[in-house]
Structure 1
Amino acid sequence: MSWPESCSPSPAPPTPDWPAIRRAVSPPGDTKEVYLIDVPPWSSLRTERYVYTRWYDLERSAAKREYELYDLATDPYELHNLLATAKGRERHAGLVTRLNKRMAELSSCQGATCRTSG
């Protein structure tokens, strides 16, 4: 592949047929609005104290994902992402490692084995 080919923009995705989508999801005569929301893929784990979320889990490499960690004991409304700064990421690196390990365990467990922590 030559340089110009590799840098050319991707073609725009086709415009959705909104009237057809509305007909498919709404009963006949329904005049309510239909909203479609595109949410990026994510994985999340909630413990008694923390909520940990990895955004773009399937679309990006681990280094390019976005991460959120909230301490429910001190931030029950999840307003302060503990991983938003380099200092926060460094401070909570051990916890994130443990939570990533638990998420990996949960991705391959079945039934009652999912209820025990490793």
Structure 2
Amino acid sequence: MAQSAGSGWRGSRPTGGSSAHRPARRPGASRSCLPHERVDVSVAQTVIALARGLDLQVVAEGVETPEQQQWLLHHGCHLLQGYLLARPMPLNECEMFLERLAADAVS
């Protein structure tokens, strides 16, 4: 599941868009791939290893627990999204959230 700036894949569907420069492509690991069972662990490790081998970054979606976060970070997946980090929010709240996040990163 490759995903780039403005284009890529979400699940098995293309998201569309294009870019003139070489965008960062990111395979995704959805909640169904996060480690809960032996098969899930193997799938997540394989996606991360494949991405590394192709010099890509991996975005893990659906991260809900600190244990999932730690497992993913330990295995080399450093781009995460999910309820653990932030709940879905309206655009205006999202803008304020990102401004606070950026301000905290600077200080």
Larger Rg, first or second structure (1 or 2): 1
Higher relative contact order (CA 8 A, sep 6+): 2
TM-score (norm 2): 0.26
Higher helix proportion, which one?
A: 2
TM-score (norm 1): 0.25
